[in-house]
Structure 1
Amino acid sequence: MLSGLTIRGRCLLAAGVAAGICALVLDERDLLRVSAFVIALPLLALFLAGRVRFGLRGRRRVDPPRVPVGSPAQVELHLTNGRLPVEGLILEDDTPHALGNRPRFRLNALRGNGARLDYTVTPSLRGIHQIGPLRTWIGDPFGLARYERELTDRSRLVAIPKVFELSGLPPGSGLGTGENGTAKTRAGHGNDDSMVREYRHGDDIRRVHWKSTARRDELMVRVEERPWQGGVTVLLDRRSAAHRGAGADNSVEWAISAAASICLHLDKHGQQVRLLTEDGWPLTRDAETFDDGQDDAVLDSLAAVRPSPQRDLFCNRDPGEGHELIAVLGKITTAGVAELTRLRPQESHSLAILLDVPAWGAEGSSQDVHEAAGQLRGAGWAVAIAEGPRTPIPEVWRRLCHEVPAREVAR
């Protein structure tokens, strides 16, 4: 009850109680009246501040709720009040560092008809950002009582990776020709025919996938899926050990933006697109299960991607399932190249974008990326190199489209 009193209010209340005790001991009625007034003043301030506190309401609207990195979003705050007017109201909306400084407002007066406040946020980093809660501090004019109040819950703003307009398609594959590769061999590598998701209330406990539960430290269940029926697989290498840079200039952000641009470009040309991470974890399901919102699903999944602690590239099966594969790779070793190519059938079309990762840091360019590119080309892959953070994604894609695999030259 008394937790809303400030230090000044508590001291005044204590002084009033002490004066009352002294008045009783000394039988001083005038002092008793003064002590009653001193005690009543902070309690009255506490009561009025509490009434105002519970009368305030707020709601937030984010428009649009999903924006590319670097694009603005408008936040609207709508405040309503009860019967008591509020003077000198201070409000602060809690925003993460990636959205800029926390907006702070001061309202001289808030009447019964309420108020509307607007501000703009521009995400500098990709991710799912939480805005809020909206906080205010309500007190009395004498500074005797003060309440902190959360007026709204949190709102979500999805900062999706930048998507670039690409042109052209790589030659020598089913891309853009209407083929989906269903007649191609799977080279003897089966599929799991299942994926996992978070446990929901009512799920059968017998469907719990214990291996994934142990790895993610949360209950996961199996979801039966149809086998991958051809199309294009985009492989995103998100290993933290394979990337350099900080914040928006990290090479993994370049790779994510490239993967997003490629997925949307292929989907635009009518291809089934499956997006995987370097550990084989699907970021999207079979494209046949998507409706017209597939692009949004791809971008939302990439917005939530976080770097992986996995150090080495490891494949327990062909990530492309015998069909077209486009890999966006960070720093890769000779062993990593061998691991990636050992399960790929020779007749399958394979492409790779290699990032010259040291160029994103203080190390400068490296010859390792050219050696890895030579190994991949020797295995029949088409390869394009991104030389640094300033290299445009459409330019790297254009070079990949003009790259002719070694087996095509031999023919």
Structure 2
Amino acid sequence: MTAPRARSGALLVARVVFHTTLLAALPFIVGGLAGFFAEVSQVSETLPRLIERASVVLLPLLVVQGVCVFVKVRRELSLTDAAPSARAVLESVLRHTRVMTDKGLGLFFGALAAVVLSLTLKFAELGIIAVLGLSTLYAVVTVGVLLSTFVAQRFEERLAARGGIIGREFVPVVVESGESVEELFHFERVPVPWGFVVQVYQRLPARLATESRHVVGASVSMRRVTLARPLHRTPRGDYRVPPASVAFTDLFGLTRVAIAQAAEARLRVLPRLYPVALASAPRTLAPQEGVLSVLRRAPTEDWFRVREYMAGDDTRRIHWKLSVKLGHLQVRQPETVPVVRRRVRVVLDNYLPAAHAQGEEVDLVLGDVLDRLVELWISLARALSERGESVQLAVATGDGTRHTETLELTRGAQPRLLELGSRVQWQSATDFHEVGDALERGQLMVVVTARFLPLPPLPPPSAGTVTWVLLPVSDEIPTALPRRAVDKVLAFFTQPFAPGAEENALLASAQRNNARRRLETVRAHTAHLTAQGSAAAEAALRARGEPFYRVSRSGVAYLLG
């Protein structure tokens, strides 16, 4: 623990020194080193005058920056009751001095390279370019530090005094999975200093595959502006999006000054309901077929009431003898006949051990698996309810205070069913056998699972009381996209974003490539784990001799066989 902490402390000190002292001294250090190795006798006599004029420009800027940073650090540390540690002071100093963007750092190091080349190649025009670039950068950085000290601190107060807003909403706010959604940002009477723009940035939850990035100019100081962008994906989920980062950015894109966190929003994506049908009799060693055998009832099996035929009715329900007698078509209505209502608890297995549930990469890989599992869970419950069963849904919440959430599926409960389905997440606190405990007398249980890990300790098999429905995980894991050699060559010579975008920077590209490699590693590991674990779990469930169904897809329907 000591060595990594020491390394992180040394890195912190180095970053603070770079953004304070070295930012002004590094051009002279680099120029001196270049002069040591190159012939610079022609410009050596101008060195005293250069240092004198540079001091006239740089020293006031450094003093202003130093005073501003001191004020901000003191203001921040005064909010804490305990005496701040040296590390806390350094982190505060770094937070308030690091205002340069990647483009600003690129300009800085580009100017240093111009200094070296001008001295080595005796190319005076490169020296002029270096001086102009560094002077512009120092001036813009100083203005940025001043803004962060005296403007950003009172930004929210000024915004409220002007009656301004920075708001966000998703339209529509409640949708079904796969439907189109737009994110709208509203700006009205936002105070924007001259020479700067307001930039809003936030990376939305990973499964939405969207970044919020909006830029508005001084026009929002006097009127209302609404910016919109579509979400790339809308998978099932209840998304509570935290406030976005709002910053002032200069017109050159060299500095960014954070001013507020604003515009939180919420989006609810409901799961879809699909037909559920039986492909064959359940695989069971017991004489009972289980509660799902009701799904095989044909439209002509039952006592019926009748009504006049309407377009779209199932022609198998036509009562031909009565139709001939009355002179117009009559159809049977099996749903109007009371049957013996069995009480069924439909349990969802959303347990995932903590060791397998860490990182957003796992959510990206296994998120679609949980979506399919939830769709099957609620669709099966609806199908049983429509066939006359008394259905109760149960799922683990992962909450320490309320382990299980249940829902009685009564008439008119479909909105609550979809709302419950949208909130289900993988959790590591409660396994499915605890959710299914304490069944009432005569109550049956259906367990919907995509198990690919060892089963928990289960009670002895009970004939017909428990029915297992297994969704094979290996069918739902996304496959890796093939990448041709020509694509790699093109990626080297092209840019994925518009020219000038910060995402094209070397550091940003490296971060994206690392994230892509991590995601592929997790995907491959999960695919290997599920291929073995799912087969073992299926064999263990079959061996219990209870009604067992394996799920497949047939068009939009879930087929149990």
Which TM-score bucket, shorter chain as reference? 0.5 to 0.7
Match of 1:235 in 2: 347
User: For 1:278 and 1:341, how far apart are their aligned partners in 2?
Assistant: 22
Letter of the 1:57 partner, please give it: I
Match of 2:469 in 1: 353
Question: Against the structure 1 CA distance between its residues 16 and 131, is the aligned structure 2 distance closer, same or farther, given a 3 Å change threshold?
Answer: closer
User: For 1:367 and 1:143, how far apart are their aligned partners in 2?
Assistant: 55
Question: Against the structure 1 CA distance between its residues 332 and 51, is the aligned structure 2 distance closer, same or farther, given a 3 Å change threshold?
Answer: closer
TM-score (norm 1): 0.57
Match of 2:216 in 1: 107
Moved over 6 A (4+): 6-10, 15-18, 42-46, 48-53, 83-86, 139-146, 173-177, 242-245, 332-335, 393-396
Match of 2:553 in 1: 392
Question: Against the structure 1 CA distance between its residues 150 and 166, is the aligned structure 2 distance closer, same or farther, given a 3 Å change threshold?
Answer: farther
Question: Against the structure 1 CA distance between its residues 288 and 49, is the aligned structure 2 distance closer, same or farther, given a 3 Å change threshold?
Answer: closer
Q: CA deviation at 1:125?
A: 5.2
Match of 1:199 in 2: none
Match of 2:372 in 1: 254
Letter of the 1:362 partner, please give it: H
Match of 1:29 in 2: none
What's the Cα RMSD here?
5.1
User: For 1:44 and 1:334, how far apart are their aligned partners in 2?
Assistant: 58
Q: How does 1:149-228 map to 2 (within 5 A)?
A: 149-150=259-260, 152-166=262-276, 170-172=292-294, 178-179=338-339, 181=341
Question: Against the structure 1 CA distance between its residues 47 and 268, is the aligned structure 2 distance closer, same or farther, given a 3 Å change threshold?
Answer: same
Consecutive unaligned residues of structure 2, counting only runs of 5 or more, are 1-18, 25-57, 68-141, 279-290, 298-334, 478-526
Instruction: Determine whether 1:81 maps to 2:186.
Output: no
The answer (yes or no) to whether the contact 2:169–2:185 under 8 Å persists in 1 is yes
Alpha-carbon displacement from aligned partner over 1:8-56 (angstroms, at most 9, x marks no partner): 99953726999xxxxxxxxxxxxxxxxxxxx99x979976777776235
User: For 1:16 and 1:338, how far apart are their aligned partners in 2?
Assistant: 67
Q: CA deviation at 1:153?
A: 3.5
Letter of the 1:14 partner, please give it: V
Q: CA deviation at 1:116?
A: 0.5
Match of 2:167 in 1: 59
Q: How does 1:4-403 map to 2 (within 5 A)?
A: 11-12=60-61, 14=63, 54-55=158-159, 56-81=164-189, 88-110=197-219, 111-123=221-233, 126-138=236-248, 147-150=257-260, 152-166=262-276, 170-172=292-294, 178-179=338-339, 181=341, 231-240=343-352, 246-247=362-363, 249-250=365-366, 251-267=369-385, 271-277=389-395, 281-287=403-409, 293-300=415-422, 303-309=423-429, 313=433, 317-319=437-439, 321-331=441-451, 339=459, 341-342=461-462, 346=463, 348=465, 350-357=466-473, 361-362=527-528, 364=531, 368=536, 371-376=539-544, 378-379=545-546, 381=547, 383-386=548-551, 391-392=552-553, 397-400=558-561
User: For 1:248 and 1:353, how far apart are their aligned partners in 2?
Assistant: 24
User: For 2:542 and 2:454, how far apart are their aligned partners in 1?
Assistant: 10
Q: How many positions carry a matched residue from both structures?
A: 314
The answer (yes or no) to whether the contact 2:295–2:384 under 8 Å persists in 1 is no
Q: CA deviation at 1:236?
A: 1.1
User: For 1:340 and 1:114, how far apart are their aligned partners in 2?
Assistant: 67
The answer (yes or no) to whether the contact 2:275–2:379 under 8 Å persists in 1 is yes
Q: CA deviation at 1:118?
A: 0.4
The answer (yes or no) to whether the contact 1:91–1:134 under 8 Å persists in 2 is yes
Question: Against the structure 1 CA distance between its residues 64 and 237, is the aligned structure 2 distance closer, same or farther, given a 3 Å change threshold?
Answer: same
SS of aligned partner of 1:339: coil
User: For 1:292 and 1:163, how far apart are their aligned partners in 2?
Assistant: 10
User: For 1:16 and 1:316, how far apart are their aligned partners in 2?
Assistant: 64
Question: Against the structure 1 CA distance between its residues 83 and 323, is the aligned structure 2 distance closer, same or farther, given a 3 Å change threshold?
Answer: closer
**Which sits farther off after the overlay, 102-111 or 306-315?**
306-315
Alpha-carbon displacement from aligned partner over 1:229-283 (angstroms, at most 9, x marks no partner): x633111112225999954553444322311222344455565432123799543
Q: CA deviation at 1:150?
A: 3.0
Q: CA deviation at 1:106?
A: 2.1
Q: CA deviation at 1:59?
A: 1.3
Q: CA deviation at 1:61?
A: 1.6
The answer (yes or no) to whether the contact 2:455–2:537 under 8 Å persists in 1 is no
Match of 1:31 in 2: none
The answer (yes or no) to whether the contact 2:452–2:473 under 8 Å persists in 1 is no
The answer (yes or no) to whether the contact 1:314–1:340 under 8 Å persists in 2 is no
Letter of the 1:107 partner, please give it: V
The answer (yes or no) to whether the contact 1:385–1:396 under 8 Å persists in 2 is no
Q: Which has the higher helix share?
A: 2
User: For 1:144 and 1:249, how far apart are their aligned partners in 2?
Assistant: 37
SS of aligned partner of 1:297: helix
Q: CA deviation at 1:120?
A: 1.5
SS of aligned partner of 1:89: strand
User: For 1:10 and 1:271, how far apart are their aligned partners in 2?
Assistant: 82
SS of aligned partner of 1:285: strand
Consecutive unaligned residues of structure 1, counting only runs of 5 or more, are 1-5, 19-38, 182-229, 401-411
TM-score (norm 2): 0.44
Question: Against the structure 1 CA distance between its residues 81 and 170, is the aligned structure 2 distance closer, same or farther, given a 3 Å change threshold?
Answer: same
User: For 1:248 and 1:327, how far apart are their aligned partners in 2?
Assistant: 25
Question: Against the structure 1 CA distance between its residues 11 and 299, is the aligned structure 2 distance closer, same or farther, given a 3 Å change threshold?
Answer: farther
Question: Against the structure 1 CA distance between its residues 270 and 109, is the aligned structure 2 distance closer, same or farther, given a 3 Å change threshold?
Answer: farther
User: For 2:274 and 2:416, how far apart are their aligned partners in 1?
Assistant: 17
Q: Equivalent pairs: percent with the same residue?
A: 16
Question: Against the structure 1 CA distance between its residues 131 and 44, is the aligned structure 2 distance closer, same or farther, given a 3 Å change threshold?
Answer: closer
User: For 1:333 and 1:107, how far apart are their aligned partners in 2?
Assistant: 50
Letter of the 1:12 partner, please give it: L
User: For 1:264 and 1:118, how far apart are their aligned partners in 2?
Assistant: 37
Question: Against the structure 1 CA distance between its residues 305 and 47, is the aligned structure 2 distance closer, same or farther, given a 3 Å change threshold?
Answer: closer
SS of aligned partner of 2:375: helix
Letter of the 2:459 partner, please give it: E
SS of aligned partner of 1:260: helix
SS of aligned partner of 1:240: coil
